[in-house]
Every structure is written in C-alpha cells, then in structure tokens.
Amino acid sequence: MTELGNFDFPAEMLVCPVCAKDVVASYCSGCNSEFFSLGDIPCLFTTGIQQKNLWQHQMAMMESQGADALEHLDYILQGYDISPLTRNRLEQSRDAMSESLDMIMGQLKGAGLVSRREPLFEQARVDNPTEYYHHILRDWAWDAEPSKHYRTHVNEANLERVLNVWKNPRPGKMLFLGAGAGRLSWDLHKALQPEFTIASDINPFLLTCANSLIKRRRSITLPELYTYPQIGYPFSRSWVMQPPDDPGKLHEHWYALGADVWNMPLKENCVDTIVTSWLLDVTGGDVKDLISVIDYLLKPGGYWINTGPLLYSGQLSFDLKYSAEEILDFAQMAGFDVEQQSVEEIAHMASPLNARYHHEQIFSFSACKRADSRPAPVPGNTDDWLTPPWLIMHHQPVPRINFQCQMGHEFIRQVLGLVDGKRSIYLIAQMVQPGLPEGVDAKEAVIALFGQILEQMADVGE
C-alpha cells in the first residue's frame, strides 16, 4: 500500500472523479481538482474542496440548532409550575442532548472540520449529517443487550443473511458502496479476510465514527434519547462503543473512503466484490444507473452482493421504484448472472431502549459479472427490436446495426455517426449535449431517437 498525501489507503486504486486521471498528493493530474482528507480518510468528490465547506456549513447549522434547543429547555426548567417528575425527565433530556451535541461536534472537529457557515449554502436545502445517528447505535451499541427479535444479535443476523446468498465467497478486493457506520463491512472483512476492504460513504459523521472504531481502534460514547413517552423504558442512555475484536490486526487492511456513489473515484474493473447494503432505495437515483456504476468498477467474474429493503423515498419518481424482479432483470441485462436470492421479514432499528421498531422486508442476492462480453442480441421478433438491453441499460454499447431511417436532421446524422459498437447511450448523449438547445436533455433525445428508429424497423420487419 502507498500513501496519498496523509491518506493511508491503497492509492493505486484512486482516480479523479471528474476526469478519471491519476491523483497526485491531493490534486488531479488532469483537471487539477483539489481533494481533502477527513482525518486520515481520503475524500474525493466532483465538487472538490467545496464538499468540505458543505460539511462545515452543516456542522455550523447543527451547532446553532442544538444551542437553540438547549436554551429553550433551560428556559422551561426555570418555570415554577414544573412537577419534580417532569423536571427530572427534562433534565435527563437536556443532559443527553448536550452530551450528544458535544460528541458530534467533537467527532467532526477531531477529523479536521471546523464549524463555519458558508454563504454559498445559505439558500440551499442542506441535509443533516446526523440523520442516520441511530444507525451507529444499531451497528455498534445495541448488540450489547439481549434482543427479543433475533435468535442471534442483529449484526450476526445481517452477516448470516449475506453469507447465505453468497456461496463459496472469494472476496479479493472488496468495496462497500454506502457502508454507513461500517459494521457489516467490518464483519465481512473479519469473516472472509479479503485482500482489503474499502468502506465508502458520503456522510461525514458515519465515516468518522466507523473509522474511529475500526481503523483507529478508539472507543466512542454516544447517548440515545427518545422524546416521546414509553412505559417501562428509560428516557436516555449513554452507550460506550468499543473497537471490535481484532486479534489478527485485520483493521490494517480496512479503509474508509469519502465519495459519492454516482461519481466514484476508483478505476475501472478495480475490485472483485461490491456490496450494497441498505442502499438501492436511498440513493435518490435510478437503480439502473447504480448498476452501471457497479458494472464499471467490478472485474469480470466478480460478485455483486446486495441486501436491504426496497423502500424508495417519496421524492423518487414512481416509474423508478422498481420491484425485485425488475432489478434482477436489469442485472441480467447488464451482464450479471444472479446465483442466489432471498426475502426475509425482520425487525429493524429495534433498540433495547425503544418499544417501537420497523418491520421490514429484506431483499438479498448474489450476482456474478459474466467474464465474457455479452453479444448484441439478434432481433427475432418485435419485442427484440423495441427493447434491446442497450436501450434499457444506458451504459451498454450501442451495437453496430444498420439503422434504417431518413437522415434529414443533423441531430440524427450526428447520433448515428457516433455509433461504433463501443459507445453507449450515456457517452453519445454526453458528446451531443453541447450542440443541443438549452433545456433539451441529450440522453432523453438519444433514447427517443433510437426508440423511434427501432419501432420503424420493427414495422418494416412485420
């Protein structure tokens, strides 16, 4: 392994997420984009150093909102009409909120971030990095208590679920996309002992917590607080989370990476295994596009392992809320052979301090990327003409077909002139976009053109 600036990371894997050129120190050798570290975690985003500024703006907002909440509680506690029991509950809540804010700020500041508002983001909708706060507790704290929901602990159940669909695993170089707080990435890393594991995520709080526990071998204390009444449960508790057991120093080959799943700073065909855990439904994008990312990064013969629900966000267009059958169909179109799959209903986010939890359906599968390139299908009927895989999976090469149509429009001539059996709809769209009027989406226009041509050819074939 080599070092990239201050990063302890297999640097030979990294490329610029903007132009795919090599990264030297903290800069791209091609477009000169600047990158940064989160402590000892390399962070490579298309927005460069602005991603760090965004995280620092998020910190400042959390700090301000937290201070306002604590000030409000202090004001209420000054009242004369509060019963002793109410005062006790509010004081416990205030202590937990104060401890939580201090720990969050300390964790991020310890990684080199500074709480600072940025004018660039003042008018933008900014997410809260602690949105998945309880996922850290689920990964690293709750297994300390017996569970009435699992015959084993939740993390052991998650590991078992993955291994049940991944027969005879040979992980090689393993990449987790959306690794979150890192527990499953560590459990698989320890169980299978790959050459190395890269745990990638875009959330700075999850990244630093996972890195502190696994890589830096440091404990973390986080409080858990529920603000609604629960009979027989405490209001709060501080959890001391210890680094996982690692007698063989396997953590030396586990690495955290700050990156956006849609613009991964990694080389083509660079890993043997990709794991997506609780990711397919939360990216905010098209699963078909995520499959193209996986296909790009994964070596031929490598494995894609998925586990998690299909609970798409309300903001996602209905047509993109694919079923399990559709996702497996897309994977097969993209050149994957689905080998094992399972569906299980589980209790999710079942804290020992909480009477409430989610009942969720978990969809898991393993799929092997075919080693041989998939030949273009030879149309034999109307459906073959209208829905070839390359028209659905936009990252696949558009085959050399004798597209029969009138070449009267320059756009048609330009698009068909770019078909060489290697370029995909994605690439063709990128190449023609600069010449299109403002507001016209090149990919939509290219898809419509090919669709209309194939439709006309199918009609002629009939």
Residues 398 and 352 both lie in one domain:
no
Residues 315 and 220 both lie in one domain:
yes
Phi and psi at residue 294, in whole multiples of 5°?
-65, -45
**Nearest C-alpha neighbor of 308 from the set 293, 330, 327:** 327
Write down which residue in 301, 336, 369 finishes a domain. Answer: 369
pLDDT lower than 50: segments of the chain:
1-4, 375-376, 378-382, 462
Residues 317 and 400 both lie in one domain:
no
The arrangement of strands across the sheet holding 36-38 comes to: 36-38, 41-43, 254-258, 196-201, 173-177, 271-277, 298-308, 358-369, 336-348
At position 454, the amino acid (one-letter code) is L
Residues 291 and 203 both lie in one domain:
yes
Residues 348 and 259 both lie in one domain:
yes
At position 190, the amino acid (one-letter code) is K
Q: Which residues contact 89 (CB under 8 A, 6 or more apart)?
A: 235
Give me the pLDDT at residue 204, please: 97
Q: Which residues contact 77 (CB under 8 A, 6 or more apart)?
A: 87, 90, 91, 94
Give me the pLDDT at residue 376, please: 47
User: What is the tally of structural domains in the chain?
Assistant: 2
DSSP string of 142-207, one letter each residue: GGGS--SS-SS-HHHHHHHHHHHHS-S---SEEEEES-TTSHHHHHHHHHH--SEEEEEES-HHHH
Does 434 reside within a domain?
Answer: yes
Task: List the domain range (segments joined by +) for residue 196.
Answer: 130-369
Does 46 reside within a domain?
Answer: no
Pure H helices in 321-424: 324-333, 382-386, 389-392, 410-417
Give me the pLDDT at residue 251, please: 96
Give me the pLDDT at residue 28, please: 93
Residues 275 and 386 both lie in one domain:
no
Encode pLDDT of 340-363 as tens digits: 999 999 999 999 999 889 999 999
Cβ neighbours of 327 (radius 10 Å): 21
Residues 140 and 284 both lie in one domain:
yes
Residues 356 and 391 both lie in one domain:
no
Cβ neighbours of 417 (radius 10 Å): 11
Tokens of 128: 């809260």
- Indicate the pTM of the whole model: 0.92
Task: To the nearest 10°, report the CA torsion of 81, 83, 86, 88.
Answer: 120
3-state secondary structure of 351: coil
Residues 143 and 181 both lie in one domain:
yes
Residues 364 and 453 both lie in one domain:
no
**Nearest C-alpha neighbor of 351 from the set 226, 259, 222, 256:** 226
Q: Where are the beta strands (DSSP E) in 293-404?
A: 298-308, 336-348, 358-369
Residues 398 and 359 both lie in one domain:
no
